[in-house]
C-alpha cells in the first residue's frame, strides 16, 4: 500500500479523488490547503502528492516549488490535477516541478493510470525517509 497526500480545496473533488485512490488500494491523507500540504509532507513520509493547482492562498505551483526545494520532499512524485487545460498550461505546470498532469474534469482511468505510473517510477531526487 502506498501513501498518497491529496491536496485539494474543493470538498467534493477531494472526496471523489480520495475514494478512487482508496479503492485502488492506497492510504490517503487529505488536506484542503497548500500550506497544510507542505507541513504534512515535511512531517510524514509519502509516496506521492496529488496537488490541485488552483488553491486559495498559496497555490499548487508555489507549493510544488517549496516541496522541490526541500531535501525531505524533493524526490516525492507530484501529480498536478487542475482545471488549467489551455495550451501551454501543462508545460508551465511541469516546468514548476510537477511530474505529471491530469486536467479536470478528471477522467478517472487516466488519473489512476498516472498515479500508477508515478508510483512505479523510481524517485528522481530520492528522499532520506
Q: What is the pLDDT of residues 27-39, one digit of tens each?
A: 999 999 999 999 9
Domain 3-120 homologous superfamily, CATH:
Response regulator (3.40.50.2300)
Instruction: Report percent pLDDT > 90 for the chain.
Output: 84
Q: How far apart are CA 21 and CA 68, in angstroms?
A: 23
Which range has the worst mean pLDDT, 20-24, 86-90, 96-100, 114-118? 86-90
Q: Over the stretch 37-48, which tens digit does the pLDDT of each residue have?
A: 999 999 999 999
80, three cell numbers: 498536478
Q: Over the stretch 80-101, which tens digit does the pLDDT of each residue have?
A: 999 877 778 889 999 999 999 9
51, three cell numbers: 496537488
- Domain residue extents for the chain: 3-120
| pLDDT at residue number 127 | 39
| pLDDT at residue number 83 | 87
Give the position of cell 490535477: 81
pTM: 0.92
For the chain, the straight-line distance linking the first and the last C-alpha, in angstroms and rounded, comes to 16
| pLDDT at residue number 123 | 53
DSSP track, 67-114:
HHHSTTTTTS-EEEEES--STTHHHHHHHTT-SEEEESSP-HHHHHHH
Length of the chain: 129
Q: How far apart are CA 129 and CA 122, in angstroms?
A: 14
Does pLDDT of 128 surpass 70?
A: no
Amino acid at each position: 500500500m502506498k501513501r498518497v497526500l491529496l491536496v485539494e480545496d474543493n470538498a467534493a473533488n477531494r472526496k471523489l479523488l480520495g475514494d478512487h485512490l482508496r479503492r485502488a488500494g492506497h492510504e490517503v491523507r487529505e488536506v484542503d490547503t497548500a500550506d497544510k500540504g507542505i507541513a504534512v509532507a515535511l512531517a510524514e513520509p509519502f509516496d506521492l502528492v496529488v496537488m490541485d493547482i488552483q488553491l486559495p492562498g498559496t497555490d499548487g505551483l508555489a507549493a510544488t516549488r517549496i516541496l522541490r526545494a526541500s531535501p525531505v520532499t524533493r524526490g516525492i512524485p507530484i501529480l498536478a490535477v487542475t482545471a488549467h487545460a489551455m495550451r501551454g498550461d501543462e508545460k508551465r505546470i511541469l516546468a514548476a516541478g510537477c511530474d505529471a498532469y491530469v486536467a479536470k474534469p478528471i477522467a478517472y482511468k487516466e488519473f489512476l493510470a498516472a498515479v500508477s505510473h508515478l508510483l512505479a517510477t523510481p524517485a528522481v531526487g530520492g528522499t532520506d525517509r
